[in-house]
């Protein structure tokens, strides 16, 4: 039996055990749809921190980011900045949405949109389109999983089989466990990921260069173009960094699964505390990017090297087999665990916000079971998409963000602050944003004039959203006052007082 | 509530500025090195350490002035 087989077999066995652990704990917890999707809004700071971290820090962080630094140099820093901007944005946005969500018992982003704009049709539209975009995001994690098995197995296991095995585990874990199961698995995954990246970050400079100081010195002397923008990337300059960080920073919370995680917290304070402590995770990203830079000097820059594989290549080249097992488990979990809530949220959106909205006679119990059963077809669709349209991890993430960020005007600007926003404005803005994004991406105009294509599309979306909203009938003020009562209590009470006074006059 | 929202917006702008504004203005260089690190690299090591401090200050301000918390307690009560 070869070493590669032992490593792969041991890793798969450990991943299977961790999955069973999550599934078992999930069976004890999830009894209804609200419990399954948002854990009845009872998660404390510790679990939410791990859950958010686990979903945000995925195969992209573990493998793709090092690969991006390896290929594009300093442009990879966009990913350090975007999350911190997102935490700052989320500091106020998530707790405010949580307050509204608890008042009206919302469990999905689509519930929130339908409630704010008083439009069931808009809710269905948002649920369906976001579910589609989320399936595309799962590709990223399948690709990450394939990269692990590709390097460890030396090509002995085909991409097809590695994808199928990973997703069978994933689909079963999500079906049996719900989000609680994933939170426990997330804890294990994050610990393994911290240990693995920490060890790699410390050992690589000492083993290959002698010290951090010598490594940094070689960075400056041998590959200076990797430490400026656009530098080695040639086309990803400062304007691209600014527009990408802003677009992705405001777009992060538009992913329905992260929006859903906000509902799992037990209080708004829990979410605010997350915003304070989540930036510490960013140091992990800096470590991964450093490994990517070091890989340029250690592995060279041959075109035959797939950027996604450099972390695993360094791990297998540097460490003994037992550590490679630990590393492989962490890498696999980083691909599998984050995909769980994405599939679960997708299925919840389709069952609850599309099927039940179209057929209101469906009972809650039926919706609960349809949600669980949809996990399998959605997983299979994602698997097929991955096999039919294979892509680089980074390309998938950036394009997915271009599309999902188009929800920002509807969810945050109109959803929380601008009461004149209308459902017609949201429809028109979203369609404009997606069409512009699709056109620019498909015609290879990303970046355009140095700007991120999704950001340009967002500006078009925003302009159409505002103009069409101003030209169409607003949502009644009485509804909005009631809707915002939990989030903006003073303003809503004041506005309700004015309405009552006008009625009295 | 307006003060809380204003402080939050200032914080968002500050963090965006630290990352991309400072990079555009003066950090997009390899030299001078800081602790041996290329300048841009050093900046992206430093700012993630500053962010929790900035957000922590916002948290303390928010804790004192945000009426949402009071309303939330009333709802629970």
- Indicate the residue of B20, B28, B71 with minimum beta-carbon distance to A486: B71
What per-residue confidence (pLDDT) applies to B34?
A: 96
Q: Does any domain span residue B56?
A: yes
Please report the number of interchain residue pairs, chain A to chain B, with beta-carbon separation below 8 angstroms. 138
Top-confidence range, A108-122, A385-399, A418-432: A418-432
Residues 6+ apart with CB under 8 A from A316: A151, A152, A324
Domains of chain A, start order: 3-417 (1.20.1730.10)
- Tell me the average pLDDT across A431-452: 92
State the Cα–Cα distance between residues A163 and A185, nearest whole angstrom.
20
A422 alpha-carbon distance from chain centroid: 27
- Indicate the residue of A95, A282, A283 with minimum beta-carbon distance to B68: A95
- Tell me the average pLDDT across B20-38: 95
- Indicate the residue of A227, A245, A273 with minimum beta-carbon distance to B40: A227
A224: contact with B, CB 8 A cutoff: yes
For residue A16 the two structure tokens come to 């299977």
What per-residue confidence (pLDDT) applies to A133?
A: 87
Q: Does any domain span residue B44?
A: yes
Domain assignment of residue B22, given as a range: 2-72
- Tell me the average pLDDT across A97-107: 87
A6: contact with B, CB 8 A cutoff: no
Residues A177 and A25 sit within 8 Å (Cβ to Cβ):
yes
State the Cα–Cα distance between residues A287 and A284, nearest whole angstrom.
5
State the Cα–Cα distance between residues A397 and A230, nearest whole angstrom.
20
- Tell me the average pLDDT across A241-256: 94
Least confident interval from A45-54, A118-127, A198-207: A45-54
Contact B20 A238 (CB under 8 A): yes
Q: Does any domain span residue B62?
A: yes
Instruction: State how far residue B20 is from chain A, nearest Cα, in angstroms.
Output: 6
Kindly report, residue by residue over A139-168, the tens digit of the pLDDT.
Answer: 777 777 777 776 777 767 777 777 777 677
- Spell out which residues of chain A touch residue B41, defining contact as CB-CB under 8 Å: 74, 216, 219, 227, 290
Kindly report, residue by residue over A341-367, the tens digit of the pLDDT.
Answer: 777 788 888 988 898 888 888 888 888
What band does A50 get if pLDDT is binned at 50, 70 and 90? low
What per-residue confidence (pLDDT) applies to A487?
A: 82
What band does A178 get if pLDDT is binned at 50, 70 and 90? low
B32: contact with A, CB 8 A cutoff: no
Least confident interval from A174-178, B18-22, B50-54, B60-64: A174-178
- Spell out which residues of chain A touch residue B54, defining contact as CB-CB under 8 Å: 88
State the Cα–Cα distance between residues A97 and A41, nearest whole angstrom.
13
Q: Map residue A451 onto helix, strand or coil.
A: strand
Kindly report, residue by residue over A200-243, the tens digit of the pLDDT.
Answer: 999 999 999 999 999 999 999 999 999 999 999 988 999 999 99
Q: How many domains does chain B contain in total? A: 1
Contact A280 B48 (CB under 8 A): yes
State the Cα–Cα distance between residues A179 and A70, nearest whole angstrom.
34
The secondary structure of residue A475, as a DSSP letter, is: P
B17: contact with A, CB 8 A cutoff: no
Kindly report, residue by residue over A381-424, the tens digit of the pLDDT.
Answer: 878 877 776 666 666 778 889 999 999 999 999 999 999 999 99
Choose from B5, B71, B76 for mutation: most chain A CBs within 10 A: B71
Q: Does any domain span residue B77?
A: no
């Amino acid at each position: 039996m070869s070493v590669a087989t032992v490593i792969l077999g041991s890793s798969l066995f450990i991943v299977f055990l961790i999955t069973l652990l999550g599934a078992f704990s999930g069976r004890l917890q999830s009894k209804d749809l609200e419990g399954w999707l948002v854990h009845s809004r009872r998660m404390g700071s510790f679990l939410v921190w791990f859950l958010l971290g686990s979903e945000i820090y995925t195969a992209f962080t573990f493998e793709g980011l090092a690969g991006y630094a390896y290929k594009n140099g300093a442009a990879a820093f966009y990913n350090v900045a975007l999350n911190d901007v997102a935490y700052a944005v989320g500091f106020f946005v998530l707790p405010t949405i949580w307050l509204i969500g608890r008042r009206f018992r919302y469990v999905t982003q689509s519930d929130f949109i339908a409630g704010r704009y008083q439009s069931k049709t808009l809710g269905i539209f948002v649920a369906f389109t976001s579910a589609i975009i989320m399936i595309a995001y799962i590709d990223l994690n399948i690709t990450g999983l394939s990269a692990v098995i590709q390097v460890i197995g030396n090509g002995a296991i085909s991409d097809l089989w590695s994808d199928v095995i990973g997703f069978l585990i994933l689909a079963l874990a999500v079906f049996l466990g719900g989000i609680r199961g994933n939170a426990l698995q997330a804890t294990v995954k994050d610990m393994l990921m911290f240990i693995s990246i920490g060890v790699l970050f410390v050992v690589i400079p000492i083993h290959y260069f002698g010290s951090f100081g010598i490594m940094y010195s070689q960075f400056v002397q041998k590959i200076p173009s990797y430490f400026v923008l656009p530098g080695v990337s040639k086309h990803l300059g400062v304007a691209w960094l600014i527009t990408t960080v802003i677009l992705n920073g405001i777009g992060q919370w538009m992913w329905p699964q992260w929006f859903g995680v906000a509902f799992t917290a037990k209080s708004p304070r829990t979410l605010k505390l997350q915003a304070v402590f989540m930036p510490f995770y960013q140091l992990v990203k800096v470590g991964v990017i450093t490994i990517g830079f070091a890989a340029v000097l250690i592995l060279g820059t041959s075109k035959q090297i797939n950027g996604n594989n450099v972390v695993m290549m360094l791990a297998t080249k540097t460490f003994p087999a037992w550590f490679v097992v630990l590393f492989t488990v962490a890498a696999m979990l980083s691909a599998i665990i984050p995909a769980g809530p994405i599939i679960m949220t997708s299925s919840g959106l389709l069952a609850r916000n599309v099927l039940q909205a179209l057929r209101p006679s469906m009972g809650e119990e039926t919706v609960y079971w349809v949600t669980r059963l949809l996990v399998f077809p959605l997983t299979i669709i994602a698997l097929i998409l991955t096999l039919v349209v294979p892509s680089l991890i980074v390309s998938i993430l950036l394009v997915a963000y271009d599309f999902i960020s188009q929800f920002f005007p509807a969810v945050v600007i109109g959803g929380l602050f601008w009461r004149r926003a209308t459902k017609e404005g949201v429809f028109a803005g979203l369609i404009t944003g997606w069409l512009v994004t699709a056109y620019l991406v498909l015609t290879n105009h990303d970046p355009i004039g140095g700007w991120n294509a999704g950001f340009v599309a967002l500006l078009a979306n925003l302009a159409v959203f505002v103009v069409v909203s101003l030209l169409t009938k607003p949502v009644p003020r009485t509804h909005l006052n009631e809707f915002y009562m939990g989030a903006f209590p003073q303003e809503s009470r004041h506005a309700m007082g004015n309405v009552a006074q006008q009625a009295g006059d | 509530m307006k003060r809380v929202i204003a402080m939050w917006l200032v914080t968002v702008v500050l963090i965006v500025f630290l990352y991309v504004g400072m990079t555009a203005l003066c950090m997009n260089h390899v030299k001078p090195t800081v602790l041996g690190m290329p300048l841009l690299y050093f900046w992206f090591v430093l700012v993630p350490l500053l962010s929790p401090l900035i957000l922590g200050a916002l948290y303390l301000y928010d804790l004192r002035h945000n009426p949402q918390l009071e309303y939330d307690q009333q709802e629970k009560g």
